[in-house]
């Protein structure tokens, strides 16, 4: 079902002498305790039964149901996501950067964007929390949070098996099996295997590109040890050998990738760019001339390969002591990634990068929830988090062109020189938090919350050396290792007033502060220039209403908000000395964001339900004076500029969604149709608002037609992006090359589901 942001898939219906039609109540844990969503003074959308729709495939589909949310794929990331809530987003997938929208899986905060584009299978509920969530969820939730809840062991014998076949060679095989272990325990096993050829064709190799090949295995054990104590232990393993996307040629005519494909550019004493000695087709490095690259094709010399191994183990324990419950959530994650990218996005041999990441995180939360008395409820706790990330990468080919004027090095053949880059970052944070609800009267209540966070981060790394295949390692020795450390202390308060106008209408007003961590950006050759960037801060005011009408057949919720965003972090690729490029992080200054969110659901009949949502945003830089273009000319140093004219990335001014669920009993079984539509205004995907990264306004239609037989077997035909809307997300590697990654085209499939 979907409520407070989408309609209940099956309204609660009672068949007595008189039929009663109404929307079902949804219970959420957005505030780390079970509550009715309509009673929470918080802007939140909950999605549950809709996750079983055949046309819903991943967390990205929350776009269809939640206003002012733009959940997109991350170009060249390890199944990573670019999530924007209320105009607050993050783009770079590097492990040394953290996103402003938190993803919490079964109570565990995920410290990296990698892997956030989760499959919707075996998910019980997704709660989309908009606005700062610092009090209960901590740092890095300035934009909001996605609280993802998976199904728990049922302690009964049962299974769910699903096979999905679609175009572009898609084959998904998924299963969940539950079995009792005793009268008080149960085991859940799950498997999710996904394979596809990819929806892009490589015109250079003649092969499909962007294919998927992943396997996820899971096991969870739950025991009710006593009436007052229960435990849940889960383990998940992911092996993902999927390609890391397919890069279309977006190289500008003045990019190095383009110039080397048209014979180079030599002006004695000024510039010396040799031609690509591998003799690619003339002009193949230029977007304007490459006939082998478009929204359905790429022209690179090979696939972008990757391999991921991810292990996550989590233990949740609950003790009930009188009117209080003590909860412990302990988790550990190990993640290893390898990759091989062709960043020149064309048939030239300019920029190939191989490398890997090793990431680990550990977290521990202890919290207590209960009633002081009839009027006061308290949730309080302590939290600890630590992570470390190590990366190593080797870049090839471009040094042949960059060292063209360096005596000795310019005599080495193409592909001989490679550069190394290594970095190691750590993060350690601890916090105490509390949230109190005080019923001042029968209809008026006050929420007071706060979180105090201590955080320390370190960086260790040095300028990598250059190796030669002919002359061995370190023909240019590595630079000295730098060790850096910084720490921050922040308080994140929240206050909210909630007033019940009637049994069916509630209003609220709130103020909340949040912050996103400072740190060190580790993926750069210019290690000498590395310095810590500061945290970013958000202050948000909200007023809202939650209401039910027509005997609970219609639900309407609305929220208006205003956000003051200071020291906003922006990660930017800029040119550097010697023709290189580096990523820098700038605290951008001040941003003001205001908006409105409307959500409506209705049970039209016992067979038909309907939802609508709309989000309006007004987001703009109020002050942004910083050096964002790097060292365009050698020796120019840092020159701050006024950049307030830029539009924020990933921030459409308007999002609109609508859909319906129709169910009808037939002689063959239950026939149903699920339909959803989302329209998004135009927005920018690239920091400098490059026109190549502009995403036009468009509407996306998804639908499925289903037949359920004997309540256990379901056959579904589905289609996604039915009008075949296409757009690309742009990544610019300075003046070296630029690439675009397109969204999937229109796709169809058939899905078989059996539940026992």
- Report mean pLDDT in 10-residue bins for the chain, 756 residues: 35 44 83 85 90 90 94 77 89 80 92 81 92 84 91 95 96 97 95 96 96 95 96 96 94 96 92 94 96 97 94 97 95 95 95 94 96 93 95 92 90 92 92 95 96 94 88 90 91 95 96 89 72 88 96 95 90 63 76 96 94 96 81 60 91 96 94 97 93 96 96 96 96 90 96 95
Distance CA(17)–CA(342), nearest Å, equals 68
Distance CA(222)–CA(239), nearest Å, equals 25
Give residue 620's pLDDT. Answer: 94
Distance CA(139)–CA(33), nearest Å, equals 20
**DSSP letters along 355-380, please?**
EEEEEEEEEEEEEEEEESSSSEEEEE
The beta strands (E) that lie in 241-279 are given as 248-249, 265-267, 271-273
Helix/strand/coil (H/E/C) assignment for every residue in 6-71: CCCCCCEEEECCCEEEECCCCEECCCCCCEEHHHCCCCEEEECHHHHCCCCCEHHHHHHCCCCEEE
> How is residue 20 written in tokens?
């009663």
> How is residue 51 written in tokens?
């996750």
Provide CATH code, domain 2-755: 2.40.170.20
- State phi, psi for 157 to the nearest 5 degrees: -75, 125
Give the 3-state secondary structure of residue 280: coil
> How is residue 704 written in tokens?
């499925």
**Maximum separation of any 2 CA atoms in the chain, in Å:** 94
Domain ranges of the chain: 2-755
Nearest to 78 by CA among 114, 117, 103: 114
**H helix runs in 503-623, sequence order:** none
Query: Cα dihedral angle (111, 114, 119, 120), rounded to 10 degrees?
Result: 40
> How is residue 696 written in tokens?
């036009």
Using CA atoms, how far residue 46 sits from 25, 30, 147, 617, 661, in Å, is 11, 9, 9, 21, 16
The beta strands (E) that lie in 89-184 are given as 101-105, 108-109, 123-130, 144-150, 158-166, 170-180
pTM to 2 decimal places: 0.91
Nearest to 500 by CA among 43, 127, 131, 40: 40
Distance CA(31)–CA(328), nearest Å, equals 16
User: Phi-psi region for residue 187, left (φ > 0), alpha (ψ -120 to 50) or beta?
Assistant: beta
Give the 3-state secondary structure of residue 564: strand
Nearest to 506 by CA among 130, 40, 34: 40
Give residue 116's pLDDT. Answer: 77
- State phi, psi for 324 to the nearest 5 degrees: -115, 150
Sign of the CA dihedral running 468, 470, 471, 473: positive
- State phi, psi for 364 to the nearest 5 degrees: -140, 125
Host H or E run for residue 85: strand 81-85
Residue 317 and residue 230 in contact, taking contact as beta carbons nearer than 8 Å? yes
For the chain, helix, strand, coil in percent to 5 are: 5, 55, 40
**Residue-wise burial string across 84-103, b where 16 or more C-beta atoms lie within 10 A, e elsewhere:** bbbbbbbbbbbbbbbbbbbb
Distance CA(5)–CA(9), nearest Å, equals 12
């Amino acid at each position: 079902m979907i409520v407070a942001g989408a309609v209940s898939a099956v309204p609660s219906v009672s068949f007595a002498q008189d039929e009663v039609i109404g929307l079902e109540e949804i219970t959420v844990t957005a505030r780390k305790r079970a509550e009715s969503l309509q009673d929470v003074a918080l802007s939140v959308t909950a999605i549950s039964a809709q996750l079983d729709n055949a046309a819903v495939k991943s967390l990205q589909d929350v776009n269809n149901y939640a206003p002012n949310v733009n959940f997109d794929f991350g170009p060249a990331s390890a199944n990573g996501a670019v999530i924007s809530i209320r105009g607050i987003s993050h783009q770079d997938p590097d492990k040394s950067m953290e996103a402003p929208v938190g993803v919490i899986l079964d109570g565990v905060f995920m410290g990296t964007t990698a892997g956030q584009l989760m499959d919707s299978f075996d998910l019980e509920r997704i709660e989309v929390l908009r606005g700062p969530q610092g009090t209960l969820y901590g740092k890095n939730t300035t934009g909001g949070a996605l609280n993802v809840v998976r199904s728990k062991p049922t302690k009964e014998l049962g299974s769910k098996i699903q096979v999905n076949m679609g175009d572009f060679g898609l084959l998904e095989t998924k299963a969940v099996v539950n079995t009792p272990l005793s009268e008080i325990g149960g085991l859940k096993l799950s498997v999710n295997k996904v394979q596809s050829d990819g929806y892009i064709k490589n015109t250079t190799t003649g092969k499909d590109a962007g294919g998927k090949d992943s396997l996820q295995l899971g096991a969870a054990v739950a025991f009710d040890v006593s009436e007052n104590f229960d435990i849940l232990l889960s383990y998940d393993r992911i092996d993902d050998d999927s390609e890391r996307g397919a890069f279309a040629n977006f190289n500008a005519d003045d990019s190095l990738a383009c110039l080397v494909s048209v014979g180079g550019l030599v002006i004695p004493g000024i510039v010396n760019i040799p031609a690509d000695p591998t003799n690619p087709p003339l002009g193949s490095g230029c977007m304007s001339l490459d006939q082998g690259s478009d929204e359905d094709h790429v022209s690179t010399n090979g696939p972008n390969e990757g391999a991921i191994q991810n292990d996550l183990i989590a233990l949740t324990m609950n003790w009930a002591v009188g009117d209080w419950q003590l909860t412990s959530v302990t988790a550990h994650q190990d993640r290893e990634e390898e990759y091989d990218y062709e960043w020149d996005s064309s048939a030239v041999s300019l920029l190939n990068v191989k490398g890997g990441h090793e990431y680990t995180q550990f977290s521990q939360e202890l919290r207590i929830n209960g009633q002081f008395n009839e009027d006061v409820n308290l949730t309080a706790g302590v939290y600890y988090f630590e992570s470390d990330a190590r990366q190593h990468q080797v870049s090839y080919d471009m040094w042949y062109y960059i060292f063209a004027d360096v005596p000795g090095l310019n005599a080495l053949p193409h592909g001989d020189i490679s550069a190394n880059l290594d970095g190691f970052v750590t993060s350690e944070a601890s916090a105490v938090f509390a949230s109190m609800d005080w019923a001042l009267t029968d209809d008026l209540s006050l929420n007071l919350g706060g979180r105090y966070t201590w955080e320390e981060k370190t960086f260790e790394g040095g300028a990598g050396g250059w190796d030669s295949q002919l002359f061995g390692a370190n023909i240019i020795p590595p630079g000295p290792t730098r060790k850096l450390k910084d720490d921050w202390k922040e308080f994140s308060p929240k206050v909210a007033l909630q007033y019940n106008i009637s049994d069916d209408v509630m209003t609220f007003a709130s103020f909340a502060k949040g912050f996103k961590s400072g740190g060190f950006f580790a993926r750069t050759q210019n290690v000498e220039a590395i310095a810590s960037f500061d945290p970013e801060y958000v202050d948000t005011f909200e007023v809202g209403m939650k209401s039910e009408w027509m005997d609970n057949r219609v639900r309407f919720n609305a929220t208006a908000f205003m956000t003051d965003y200071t020291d906003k972090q922006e990660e930017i690729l800029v040119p550097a000395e010697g023709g290189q490029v580096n990523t820098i992080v700038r605290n951008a200054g001040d941003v003001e964001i205001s908006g409105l969110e409307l959500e409506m659901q209705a049970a039209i009949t016992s067979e038909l339900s309907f939802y609508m949502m709309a989000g309006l945003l007004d987001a703009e830089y109020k002050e942004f004076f910083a050096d964002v273009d790097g060292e365009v000319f050698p020796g120019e140093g840092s020159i701050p500029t006024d950049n307030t004219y830029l539009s924020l990335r990933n921030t459409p001014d308007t999002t609109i969604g609508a859909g319906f669920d129709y169910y009808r009993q037939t002689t063959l079984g239950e026939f149903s149709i699920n339909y959803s539509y989302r329209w998004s205004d135009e927005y920018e995907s690239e920091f400098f608002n490059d026109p190549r990264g502009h995403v036009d306004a468009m509407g996306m239609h998804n639908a499925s037609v289903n037949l359920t037989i004997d309540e256990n077997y379901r056959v579904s035909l589905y289609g996604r992006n039915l009008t075949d809307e296409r757009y690309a997300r742009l990544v610019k590697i300075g003046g070296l090359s630029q690439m675009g990654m397109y969204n999937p085209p229109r796709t169809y499939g058939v899905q078989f589901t059996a539940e026992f």
